[in-house]
Amino acid sequence: MTVQRLSTYYMPTLKETPGDAEIISHQLLLRAGYMRKTASGIYSLLPLGWRVVQKIEQIVREEMDALGALEMRLPIIQPEEMWRESGRWDAYGPELMRLKDRHDRGWCLGPTHEEIISALIATDIKSYKQLPFALYQMNTKFRDEIRPRFGLLRGREFLMKDCYSFHASYDDLDEYYELQAQAYGRICERMGLNWRRVEADSGQIGGKVTAEFHAIAEAGESDIVYCDCGYAADIDTLGEGASLEVCPRCGGALERARGIEVGQVFQVGPQYSETMGVSFADVEGVDQPPIMGCYGWGITRSLAASVEQNFDEFGIKWPAAIAPFEVCLIGIGKDDAVAAALDALACQLDEAGVEVVIDDRAERPGTKFADADLVGWPHQVVVGARGLEAGTLEVKERKTGEKVDVPVKEVASYLKQRLG
């Protein structure tokens, strides 16, 4: 592949923080050139932002595939009649974006896809032998928030992974639900999130057993208490007399924060199968509704949550697993020797499977260093005439700020090792 160079990359950074950006992820994602606002609650993802999305999507994809879930794609616009069958057309309220086509038929822009997937499988599922199975997609979703805010945390158009599983029995659903919940924990770990599993209220979906996955952050919209033992709860769902200070599980001290919900798992049950007319013949030949599980993960929301947990006064500090590039080579000066060293090092890193970008812009060194910290490359290498003459290059880890002088010939292997 060709190594990317910032001189021809579309990464417009801003010196000033846009006025309507209240929280840090919103501010930094705008300032560092990851996204731009197109309208209230609607964002365009610039190339850097899209790269982070693709990294998160790939982590989620690998975890879903490992559970045997199959990726597919459902439509964004959904017919009114299906939402009437399920009863949600009237129940959902003004958050559901609705439209009419040229023939005056009603549609909505899907916030979730329980109706669509139930109608989809209705004609193809006939026997218990076809169960269980799970299908998922990563797709654009819509919710007409009355007051969109906080950038990617509460937008009107957003990216979500939604997975639906279908089972012949509750026991089977129980088992798969727990596998999904464990996969969500692994997604959080791989993204480097500080997270808690919160047993929670089921909201609009309507099932009973459900859990939310929260990233711990001050900017979150949920008020949660949590403990080192793993216990966590949404304060709004606790009974009146519940303590907010002592953990009911281990007796330890509870901590409190406004959590960001990045994922949710539900045991939905048979309700959509019943309203949408899905049934299978069980072992005795008796028609039964498949029992549904539903598992949502906020792709763009978890991107913003990561920034809320990984920043300092200079900018973003991406975990390497979801950074747009892992290493930035910062070229200082116009020497031919510097240009040659940049190319050689980039080539070595690229061949070693390290994602590298070259800052070859005609900017002052101070601007390049500031942009590197703002954008948040996990590792920065300063490539200038002075270092080349001395035979060592300065390698900085963004997360810790630690700077190490590494012999030129060992920079690639050093970084390869640091990136695991």
Binding region for a second copy (CB under 8 A) out of 23-31, 74-82, 332-340, 385-393: 74-82
Does 119 bind a second copy (CB under 8 A)? Our answer is yes
Does 340 bind a second copy (CB under 8 A)? Our answer is no
State in Å, rounded, how far the first CA of the chain is from the last one.
21
Of the pair 207, 324, the CB lying nearest a second copy is at 324
φ, ψ at 345 (rounded to 5°): -70, -40
Of the pair 48, 381, the CB lying nearest a second copy is at 48
Does 77 bind a second copy (CB under 8 A)? Our answer is yes
Chain centroid to CA 406: 34
Of the pair 42, 242, the CB lying nearest a second copy is at 42
Rounded least distance, CB 28 to a second copy, Å: 17
Of the pair 142, 318, the CB lying nearest a second copy is at 142
Site for a second copy in 43-72 (CB under 8 A): 43-47, 49-50, 53, 65-66, 68, 70-72
Does 250 bind a second copy (CB under 8 A)? Our answer is no
Chosen residue from 57, 89, 97, 170 binding a second copy by CB under 8 A: 97
Chosen residue from 85, 87, 98, 209 binding a second copy by CB under 8 A: 98
Of the pair 116, 217, the CB lying nearest a second copy is at 116
Does 253 bind a second copy (CB under 8 A)? Our answer is no
Are 255 and 244 within 8 A, CB to CB?
no
Does 85 bind a second copy (CB under 8 A)? Our answer is no
What is the per-residue binding string for a second copy in 5-34, x denoting contact by CB under 8 A?
---xxx-x----------------------
Of the pair 144, 255, the CB lying nearest a second copy is at 144
Binding region for a second copy (CB under 8 A) out of 117-125, 282-290, 349-357, 377-385: 117-125
Does 399 bind a second copy (CB under 8 A)? Our answer is no
Instruction: Round to whole Å and give the CA distance between 313 and 12.
Output: 19
Are 137 and 159 within 8 A, CB to CB?
no
Are 265 and 239 within 8 A, CB to CB?
no
Binding region for a second copy (CB under 8 A) out of 116-124, 178-186, 369-377, 405-413: 116-124
Does 372 bind a second copy (CB under 8 A)? Our answer is no
Are 188 and 280 within 8 A, CB to CB?
no
Within 10 A of 298 (CB to CB), how many other CB atoms are there? 24
Rounded least distance, CB 97 to a second copy, Å: 6
Give one DSSP letter per residue of 372-384, joined into a string.
Answer: HHHHT-SEEEEEE
Does 36 bind a second copy (CB under 8 A)? Our answer is yes
Q: Minimal CA–CA distance to 198: which of 256, 245, 148?
A: 256
Q: Minimal CA–CA distance to 276: which of 117, 53, 43, 119?
A: 119
Instruction: Round to whole Å and give the CA distance between 224 and 175.
Output: 27
- 3-class state of residue 264 by DSSP: strand
Of the pair 17, 413, the CB lying nearest a second copy is at 17
∠ CA 90-147-196, rounded to 5°:
90
Are 339 and 398 within 8 A, CB to CB?
no
Chain centroid to CA 194: 14
* Cβ within 8 Å of residue 79, ≥6 positions away: 105, 106, 107
Q: Minimal CA–CA distance to 382: which of 400, 395, 391, 373?
A: 395
Does 420 bind a second copy (CB under 8 A)? Our answer is no
Instruction: Round to whole Å and give the CA distance between 81 and 379.
Output: 53
Chosen residue from 17, 20, 22, 42 binding a second copy by CB under 8 A: 42
Site for a second copy in 129-158 (CB under 8 A): 133, 135, 137, 139-140, 142, 144, 146, 156-157
Rounded least distance, CB 394 to a second copy, Å: 28
Instruction: Round to whole Å and give the CA distance between 95 and 114.
Output: 17
ω before 132 within 30° of 0 (cis)?
yes
Rounded least distance, CB 413 to a second copy, Å: 27
Does 3 bind a second copy (CB under 8 A)? Our answer is no
Give one DSSP letter per residue of 290-317, joined into a string.
Answer: PEEEEEEEEHHHHHHHHHHHSEETTEE-
Are 314 and 370 within 8 A, CB to CB?
yes
Q: Report how many residues bind a second copy under the rule CB under 8 A.
A: 55
Chosen residue from 17, 22, 39, 230 binding a second copy by CB under 8 A: 39
Binding site for a second copy (CB under 8 A): 1-2, 8-10, 12, 36, 38-39, 42-47, 49-50, 53, 65-66, 68, 70-79, 94-95, 97-102, 109, 116, 119-120, 123-124, 133, 135, 137, 139-140, 142, 144, 146, 156-157
